[in-house]
Amino acid sequence: MKKQDLHTVYHKIKAYAALKHGEQKMPTILPYVMHLSNVAMEVILAHQQEHNFNLKEALQLVLLNYTLEDTDTSFEEIEHQFGIDIADGALALTKNQNLEKQKQMAYSLHRILIEKMK
């Protein structure tokens, strides 16, 4: 993958997520986009240790899952903007707020495994 391709996708997805999160703040009162940047950096660092995943896709999934989880952005909008594979992956990472908090992560991991098997 060309660095420019990754750079372009990262900035597009970060700008989209930042727009969707608007004026949301982290508990530390920093803009929420700082959290998104921190999560993206964690994915990039993980990729440096384990190259066996698609970094461009991973960055899109982690940033868009927060957009689905924490804004009024719909799955259909994500699908329209980024395609069904990215939308499905982002949804798989998104916590199901209807479940008890302690069950949310297990459910997300289950959905990720199902997506991986498709």
Strands (E), 10-97: none
Structure tokens at 43: 């994915």
Task: Out of 70, 77, 79, 115, pick the active-site residue.
Answer: 70
Domains in the chain: ranges and CATH: 3-117 (1.10.3210.10)
* % of residues, the chain, pLDDT over 90: 25
By the 8 A CB rule, do 17 and 66 touch?
yes
Range among 10-14, 54-58, 77-81 rated most confident: 77-81
**pLDDT for residue 1:** 42
Structure tokens at 108: 């997300």
pLDDT top residue among 114 and 73: 73
Task: Out of 50, 69, 76, 79, pick the active-site residue.
Answer: 69
What is the reported pTM?
0.75
DSSP-derived secondary structure letter, 31: B
By the 8 A CB rule, do 44 and 71 touch?
no
CA 45/CA 62 separation, integer angstroms: 14
Over the stretch 28-74, which tens digit does the pLDDT of each residue have? Answer: 888 888 888 888 898 899 888 887 888 899 899 989 988 998 899 99
5 is catalytic: no
Calculate the average pLDDT of the chain: 83
**pLDDT for residue 15:** 92
100 is catalytic: no
